[in-house]
Structure 1
Amino acid sequence: MALNFHQLHIFYTVADKGSFSAAAQALHMTQPAVTMQVQSLEDYFGTKLLHRSTKRIELSEAGRTLLPFAQRSIDLIRDTDSTMSKFTKQLKGRLQLGASLTIGEYILPRLLGPFAQEYPHIAISMKVMNTAQIMDEIVNHQLNFGLIEAPVNHPDMHMEAVMSDELKLVVSSKHPLAKADRVTIEEALAHPVVLREQGSGTRLVMEEELRSKQIDPNEMNIVMELGSTGAVKSAVEAGLGVSFLSGSSIKHEEALGLIRAIPVTGLQFKRQFYSIYLKSALLPISAVTFLTFLREKDLRQWL
């Protein structure tokens, strides 16, 4: 019997999850199949790798020694897929991903066209939802990976910055600030403010930047909190208040002269967009190819 990567991946997932049942769920396998593969690996090495108990498995000394090698083998396979994906032009399959609201509504539609031209045989299925919903569907294996607007802490998730973005102060073209070339944050916040709902990635970035300049976000005159970027843009256009939105989300309204983005002196609301997926998962080559596309292409030509 030869050592194989599949068994190392299963062993690593069992060690990471702490039980055969949790590993089986993560790997879409039956528990007996997981147990059999780990036993085969133990037979290959001629030693126990795991000590089974009624509560949680524990690594033996041999298992602790093997674990970093299993991790390195998983990393190597991922790096290999990522490196070779750029040479694979005849991919087939379905790309399933989740995207948070700003990314899904305004960023990805401009990128999926060029991606589809380069990889015409990959069918794309995208769900637009909030970050919590994306994470839930990834954990439950309903999505391969997601793209989100703010970093999250989750013990089972791998997270990587794949795109950059910047929020802009936006006002109606008829707003008193519309003719200014530049304003201070104090001048901007002297007016009513319309924002995305609490917990949105856009709002988190804006509030963190204000706090970094010793400005309390709670002191803003917030007249509306809305659940989508489109609703915020409509409120700004109607003159109900100023806001802070992704520059990529306002290009159409700017071109029509409906709203205007104004630089704020001493403040830059820069942020990263992140990919997230399960640490224990090996992404399908279609997903690896799309993430490589995001990392290596000059996305500004489409955004």
Structure 2
Amino acid sequence: AGIFRGLGAQVALVYRGDNILRGFDDDVREHLRTEMQRRGITVVTKQTVDAVEKVEHGLCAELSDRASFTVDQVMFATGRKPNIAGLGLEAAKVQIARTGGIAVDELSRSSVPSIYAVGDVTDRLNLTPVAIREGHAFADSVFGGRPTAVDHTNVPTAVFSEPEVGVIGLTEATARQRFATVDIYKTTFRPMKMSLAGRDTRAFFKLVVDGETQRVVGCHIVGPDAGEMIQLVGIAIKMKATKADFDAVMAVHPTASEELVTLREKAMSYHREAAE
């Protein structure tokens, strides 16, 4: 949607859920949606495309609420599923997980001890670097004599939207379910280079902190170069850095990333009462 809008096309994005980017932090979802709309993209949620009909001036896409768009082209992002057909898995009696991927243990071994599976066919975390790491771990385990399990937690992830999204760790909602106390630090601002360019793009930064240990358990960024930033933040998160560790780092000014080490005021703090 962002690419076609950037090329000058009028774009409508229709999504069946409550908001775009299912599974991401709610603040990230809302911020990106706002930025997309600011760029002129029409975002329609809680609807599906029920029918597409060829009409005189193009295509008429009818939505589930009976609203419609007359457009030149319709593109469906229908999702994906593990491509495991024709591999003879049933004959080999390899167990399939509920997600449709090959069920494997922490060493990527299937229910048949001599058969291993890595990458998207296991439907664990479908990212190229993850598949590469799983392949390395398989080689170490089977051929190197060093049983190696891949840690699928705290994987830096980027969405190359406009603006970019970079995230790692827990969302605010998940952290509140997991920890008794959760502190949230967040800010939104217009980056300096956007101000100089006369653009209205706003960046968003958010840190999710375990209130008891003060460990930073989640970082969420929307803005220019978010993917680049989250790769480096990932090192700190993997090392179990605390909020104090972030605060102790000197800021690089003027950059957007300095917000990561200058966030001082809690936006909110949640406390879960212990069950009696």
TM-score norm. by structure 2 comes to 0.25
Larger Rg: 1
Task: Between the two structures, name the one with larger relative contact order (CA 8 Å, sep ≥ 6).
Answer: 1
TM-score norm. by structure 1 comes to 0.23
